[in-house]
Amino acid sequence: MLAVLLTGLSGVGCAVVEKDRRAVALQAATNGYQSALRWGYDETVLGFLHPDQRKTGELPEVFAELRVTGYDVTQPPVIQADGSANQVVVIDYLFEDAQVVKQLTDRQVWRWDAATNTWWLHSGLPRFAAPGTHRVAR
C-alpha cells in the first residue's frame, strides 16, 4: 500500500516540477523578448518567433527607425492546459525622425514546444504604426 502511495505521489511531484519548469522558462522567454525589443536587438527579437514565422529572417522595415520607450505588462502570462500562454503588454514607441510617442496594445500568444523545451511567440511581432500614421492600437 505504501509503495502505491509513494508511486502516486512521485507522479504528482513530477507533474508539479514540470509545470514549475515551464513557468520559469516562460518568464525567461517573456523577459528576454521584452529586453530585446526594448533595446533594439533585432536578431534576438526574431529568435523568439516560432521558426514558421521567421519568413525572411529580417524584421519589417518599420523597425529601422523605431525606438521602444516603454513596455508595460498589463496581463502577466498564464499557462493554459493546452500548452499556450497569453500575455498583454502596452508598448510605447517612437520613430527617431518624428519624436512623437505612440502606444499600442500587444496581445501575445506563446506556445510551449515540448520537442525543444522552448516557448515560441506565435502571435507575431507587434504591429507598429508606420511613421506618419496615427494608428495607436492593434
Q: For residue 6, name the pLDDT band (cuts at 50, 70, 90).
A: low
Q: What is the mean pLDDT of the chain?
A: 87
* Per-residue pLDDT tens digits for 43-55: 999 999 999 888 7
CA–CA distance, 137 with 126 (Å, rounded to integer): 10
Indicate which CATH number applies to the domain containing 21: 3.10.450.50
> The C-alpha cell of 42 is what?
533585432
Q: Is residue 127 part of a domain?
A: no
Q: Is residue 56 part of a domain?
A: yes
Q: 134 lies in a domain?
A: no
pLDDT at 2: 61
Sign, Cα dihedral of 80, 106, 70, 35: positive
Residue 128 is assigned to a structural domain of this protein: no
d(CA 96, CA 65): 6
**Residue range 95-108, pLDDT digits in tens:** 988 889 999 999 99
Q: Is residue 133 part of a domain?
A: no
* 130 lies in some domain: no
Could you tell me the residue range of the domain that residue 59 belongs to? 2-121
The single-letter code of the amino acid at 42 is D
| Number of domains comprising the chain | 1
